[in-house]
Chain A
Amino acid sequence: MFRKPPEAPDAVLVEVEGRPVRVPPGASAAAAALIAGLASTRTSPVTGEPRAPYCMMGVCFECLLVIDDEPSQQGCMVTVRPGMRIRRQEGAREL
């Protein structure tokens, strides 16, 4: 669905589902998950359906991710930092 941008010389190294991925500086965590090739980035706590980032502008909450162990983060609103660990959000977070 998406084409990977050419790798910038100043690419940021992050970890998506445990695998190293280089992404452009300024990219969002949601973009990093898509660049890493995740087809779905969370499952709905209501229906269990697989979901993925949608609006990429903070409105729809479809992009929830576990970022550096912090659950249910809106991935499209978080800018990547070197070494950031990004994982899928499975269903609702624990309290």
Chain B
Amino acid sequence: MFEAKDLNVSIEGLVKLKGINLEVNPGELHVIMGPNGSGKTTLAMTLMGHPKYKVESGDIVLDGKSIRDLPMYERAKLGVFMSFQHPVEIGSLRYLTFLLEVLRKNGKTPDIDWIKRIFNKMGLSEAFLNRNVNTGFSGGEKKRAELAQMLLLSPKYAILDEPDTGVDVDSMKFIGGAISESLSRGTGVILITHYARILNEIGKGFYVHIIADGEIKAEGGPELAKKVEEQGFGE
């Protein structure tokens, strides 16, 4: 189980998250929705361990052990994955070189054919592997590549920060497919999204958490997501 326990987080001294509680079990899908600036990315970054996001109190627990004080890369190695809302472009590093090293560091045998297959599955041709990391990729291509990494790493828990924002209909299908596959492999997924559409694509049961002003304001099931999409976040 992956848990946030009464998390209070600040960025540069300003409080951004207040009393967040979350429990995610293997294979479960938890959807986080909320207006812009409400703290969704802050939550994702905090769970992943970005040093800029400071945990003032509360705990982050993975399978019964606190990972609150572990650096980001150790959390990653324990099986926590995050796909970024804005994946960075690294102009001098080939995607394939990057992936091979990442897989090696995560104790996986790097197999180029397998990497190619996963990329193809995400609708990305092999040519992307020879390009520099995310450099010149379209919005949708960046997000698909993020999820290709998720499929390669098979994390225990994946935090996906708006994988469906700014992507076309085709990308949406690939992304929905990757999430379904990960869920069925037992990955617990925290999905930050604005749209119910991706949820239809995944077509599975899920939990919804509504966040506003750094607090969880409402929780429920699919019906809550539907309501939010129809009526917005106003109470």
Q: Do A and B bind each other?
A: no
